[in-house]
Amino acid sequence: MTQPSHPGTLPQVAILGVDTGGTFTDFVLLQDGALRIHKVLSTPDSPERAILQGIQELGLDEIVRSGALTVIHGSTVATNAALEGKGVKTALVTNIGFKDLLTIGRQTRRELYNLQPTAQPIPVPADRCFELPGRVDRNGTQLDAPSADDLAALREQLRVAGVEAVAINLLFSFLNPAPEQAIQQALAPDWFVSASHQVLAEAGEYERGIATWLNASLGPKVSHYLQRLQAGVAPCPLSVMQSTGGTMDATRAGQRAVDMLLSGPAGGLAAAQFIARQTGLGKLLTFDMGGTSTDVALIDGGIQLTSEGRIGPWPVAVPQVDMHTIGAGGGSIAYVDAGGLLQVGPESAGAAPGPACYGKGGSQPTVTDANAVLGRLQPEYFLGGNMQLDLNAAQQAVDTLARPLGLTREHTAQGIIDIANEHMVRALRVISIERGHHLDDFHLCCFGGAGGLHVCALAQALEMKHAIVPNQGGVLSALGMVVAPQSRQLSHGVQTPLRALTQHQLDDHFNRLQQQGVAALAAEGVAAEALTVERSLDIRYQGQRFYLNVDWQGDRAALEASFHQQHEQRYGHRLSIPLELVNVRCRVQAAPLVQALPTLTRTTAAAPRSRARLAGHSDPIPVYWREDLAVSQPLAGPALVAETISTTLVQRGWRAHLDHWGNLRLEQTLD
């Protein structure tokens, strides 16, 4: 499962990108100007085992011992622990009278007309919620402070409660952090402590509190995992992908677990943005179809960020890539519901036992099994021939649905694919069309091991004429770890009428954030002169709850015009009422270690390696090996393009060719 590439313009360094997914752990290695890829089955009980196995199989033991390898990792440890409710035992410290704050939340009902709604889980049980003096008013004035006796009593209560971590969330801490700092200083020697003014310095005591609680409850697990991984790759440096698409040194990432909730998916978007800039496409609608889920996002000049994300039932207000995730992946299980209808997902066969065709003991039909039954997965090419497909097991699994449905095996398999596609199309519409974007000048960009088999069908459903399957698309998230920059995304709540703030005051806010970001990256060895800074503001009409993020270029009139235009695009109208500044944001980042990917030089057109029989096609269709194809060699669908870690189906009515970077460009034809 190792694939060499071409030297091109890659730097003469050794960098290993690692993405741990639900089914596979992916590796992208840049070494001596060459690119190699690798995959191993994930080990969910101990993710570092799969990583160390892959390092050994890549033959990197010696370079690891020498410390000459840089490892950049996208981790699912924080994500899985949050979704499964497996954080450590955590206490909440808040103001007197506010111990129920996280339990009450925003009092919004998920099911508006359900008279017996399902009870929401409680973040922190009442017996682990503690109240202290330390009140700050809306102007940032401290009204009282915790005494030494208060802090001593709190320490004893925490010991009796047997907690491992503490979340401190006081009112208006973003305006005056002094009371939180006093409590943090008293507790830090004995507990893992997260203070809300450090986790999310913005208004919104509930959202800020949830982010702080998540960071505290996940922090020890993430820290221990990263320590084990660091020990395994020592003395090599280890960095971790953040949810914003930038990397952070692993020794500091353990204190910022909440910033890693979209670590893996953010890597895929970092690579997609890199490819968009390299190819000049600019606008991409992306879908990352893995074994367990599909993540969809939009790139319009850059990665879009949001502070309105969610993890399970919880809001996650820290900045993260703006992404919509659904339970539709290659391992999604198909079944017949109580009404006799065919359904797909969200439950997945995962890495163990996996789809039936993997031959690991799985017996339930999945999307991957349906593709195998339809002939779209060729056993001799699957994972470069290194993993044997059990087509008989796939057929038997699909037959368990075909019989009760009264359909043929092929029609049932096609039904599974059609339903999975509809789930993904719906998600792609949510992230694009429903937000006012016209897709005429967008390319649909697919990655993940399963994406290439669905890209043409999804593009057609969205009436998109162009698509792209990136080079190394099956491991694109791991590639993103390599090409992503070191960065920090900082924010601070202000909440004031925009025109009441002078230019000098605005500059002060930006400069403070910039200094924090520069100092954080300096601690990772990045010189200040090597950094770039992006400034933006969260703006809303006065009286609104939600806001839009607008780039700041130093021109207030241009800022207001941009806000009105964005508001009209998103919501269909603009208003003539004053604007309010909500948050100041600053992104500080270094240049990525890799500035360009290799270019291809193959000029001899390749012939098909074989032909395959696909359901719905009367004649066998050609099967090409992607690494054989010449630059610009035209391919007319129907055809299969196989590679080490994925397969692309070029449907009838589409044509394809490789560009100079090895990306497979797809275009719908009129015939």
- Would the pLDDT of 596 be above 80? no
Which element (helix H / strand E) includes 257? none
Question: Taking residues 431-439, what's their average pLDDT?
Answer: 89
**CATH architecture for residues 15-82+223-261:** 2-Layer Sandwich (3.30)
How would residue 457 be classed by pLDDT, with cut points 50, 70 and 90? very high
Q: What percent of the chain has pLDDT over 70?
A: 97
Q: Which residues, other chains included, contact 359 with Cβ-Cβ below 8 Å and sequence gap of 6+? A: 388, 389, 390, 393
Q: What is the mean pLDDT of the chain?
A: 90
Considering the chain, tell me which residue range(s) the CATH 3.30.420.40 domain(s) occupy: 15-82+223-261
Phi then psi for 521, rounded to 5 degrees?
-75, -30
Picking from 618, 666, 625, the residue whose alpha carbon sits closest to that of residue 644 is 625
How would residue 48 be classed by pLDDT, with cut points 50, 70 and 90? very high
Phi then psi for 144, rounded to 5 degrees?
-155, 175
329, 449 contact by CB (below 8 A): no
- Would the pLDDT of 33 be above 90? no
pTM: 0.85
- Would the pLDDT of 11 be above 50? no
Q: Can you give the pLDDT at residue 354?
A: 85
Helix (H, G, I), strand (E, B), or coil: what is residue 629? coil
Q: Can you give the pLDDT at residue 2?
A: 38
Choose the weakest-confidence range: 115-119, 131-135, 311-315, 334-338: 115-119
- Would the pLDDT of 417 be above 90? yes
Helix (H, G, I), strand (E, B), or coil: what is residue 210? helix
Which element (helix H / strand E) includes 205? helix 205-233
155, 81 contact by CB (below 8 A): no
- For residue 545, which amino acid is it? R
Residue 634 buriedness (CB in 10 A; 0-12 / 13-18 / 19+):
exposed
Q: Can you give the pLDDT at residue 515?
A: 95
How would residue 13 be classed by pLDDT, with cut points 50, 70 and 90? low
- Would the pLDDT of 9 be above 70? no
pLDDT by residue (tens digit) across 95-154? 999 999 999 998 777 777 888 888 888 999 999 999 999 999 999 999 999 999 999 999
Domain boundaries 85-220, corresponding CATH code: 3.40.50
Question: Taking residues 183-187, what's their average pLDDT?
Answer: 97
More confident of the two residues 428 and 598: 428
Question: Taking residues 427-450, what's their average pLDDT?
Answer: 89
pLDDT by residue (tens digit) across 622-657? 999 999 999 999 999 899 999 887 899 999 999 999
Helix axis angle, 47-57 to 205-233, nearest 10°: 40
- Would the pLDDT of 312 be above 90? no
Question: Taking residues 227-232, what's their average pLDDT?
Answer: 94
| C-alpha span between 332 and 274 (Å, rounded) | 29
Helix (H, G, I), strand (E, B), or coil: what is residue 225? helix
Q: Can you give the pLDDT at residue 399?
A: 96
**Region of residue 543 (left: phi > 0; alpha: psi -120 to 50; beta: else):** left
Structure-token match 């353990």, residue found: 254
Question: Taking residues 71-77, what's their average pLDDT?
Answer: 90
Other beta carbons within 10 Å of 456: 26
Q: Can you give the pLDDT at residue 195?
A: 97
How would residue 83 be classed by pLDDT, with cut points 50, 70 and 90? confident
Considering the chain, tell me which residue range(s) the CATH 3.40.50 domain(s) occupy: 85-220
How would residue 670 be classed by pLDDT, with cut points 50, 70 and 90? low
Q: How many helices (H) and strands (E) does the chain have?
A: 17, 32
- Here the tokens at position 436 are 């006012």
Structure-token match 């993997």, residue found: 358
Q: How far is CA 112 from CA 101, 116, 117, 312, 515, in A?
A: 22, 10, 9, 19, 45
The neighbouring-strand residues paired with 535 are: 586
Q: Can you give the pLDDT at residue 288?
A: 87
